[in-house]
Amino acid sequence: MEVKAEKNLKLNQDPDMIWKCMIDPSFMVKSVPGAELTEQLDERNFKGKISIKIGPVTAKFNGEAEFTKLEEADYELTMEGKGLDTSGKGGANMTMNIKLSTLEEGGTEMQSSMSLSITGRLAQFGARMIVAVNNKMFDQWATSFTELLNEQTSSKDSEEKSNNQPDNGNVAEPTPVKALPLAWAAIKGLFGSK
């Protein structure tokens, strides 16, 4: 099943700086909840892991991602990712489009859209819950992306760090995104508890 989300962010930084962060997978991966970069194949291709837990279902996806579009002149990028659950319980495909534009009052507007297509156990949870979880994850990503950018701006050291390749042989388990409370919020929503 496919779920879509769209989000516009206003960021303090100028587009050029944001662009550089966005096309750096080691920077981006930090902003994605539950995600981890395992290997950078070249400028456009990399491998990673993402771990999601919804109720009783934990899915750990091993995936590949590719920047299928990188147009620096327009600050427009498309990233396509696909992953399979490590123990064979499902798979996911994701496409993310981002476009940056300079704001007259300063800073940058980021227009982003994402479509996520999932199969297997997570999909069996039904559209409602997945939409809620996806929205929440997208929100979390936006928040942490903004925070990381702000950190980046205030600390010159981080630039150096982000160029380091992760150690493939000794990767700590990523902390899974805690979707159970989100799912519960979605269920409670059904019963009109507002």
Cβ–Cβ < 8 Å for 154, 21? no
- In the complex with other proteins, the residue whose CB is nearer, 61 or 75, is 61
- Under DSSP, the state recorded for 192 is T
At 67, the amino acid letter reads F
- Under DSSP, the state recorded for 60 is E
Identify the residue among 4, 74, 101, 126 touching other proteins (CB under 8 A).
126
Q: Is 62 one of the binding residues for other proteins (CB under 8 A)?
A: no
Q: How many C-beta neighbours within 10 Å does residue 79 have?
A: 22
Identify the residue among 88, 106, 181, 192 touching other proteins (CB under 8 A).
88
Piece in contact with other proteins (CB under 8 A), picked from 29-37, 102-110, 116-124, 168-176: 116-124
Identify the residue among 41, 103, 127, 171 touching other proteins (CB under 8 A).
127
Q: Is 165 one of the binding residues for other proteins (CB under 8 A)?
A: no
Shortest distance in whole angstroms from residue 133 CB to other proteins: 14
SS3 121: helix
Piece in contact with other proteins (CB under 8 A), picked from 17-25, 46-54, 63-71, 80-88: 80-88
Shortest distance in whole angstroms from residue 125 CB to other proteins: 8
For helices 180-190 and 127-154, angle between their N-to-C axes, nearest 10 degrees: 130
- In the complex with other proteins, the residue whose CB is nearer, 119 or 146, is 119
List the one residue out of 2, 58, 34, 12 whose CA is nearest residue 141.
Answer: 34
Identify the residue among 107, 120, 166, 176 touching other proteins (CB under 8 A).
120
* N-term to C-term CA, the chain: 28
Cβ–Cβ < 8 Å for 177, 33? yes
Shortest distance in whole angstroms from residue 126 CB to other proteins: 5
Q: Please provide residue 70's backbone torsions phi and psi, each rounded to the nearest 5 degrees.
A: -140, 95
Q: Is 117 one of the binding residues for other proteins (CB under 8 A)?
A: yes
The site for other proteins (CB under 8 A) is made up of 1-2, 84-91, 117-121, 123-124, 126-128
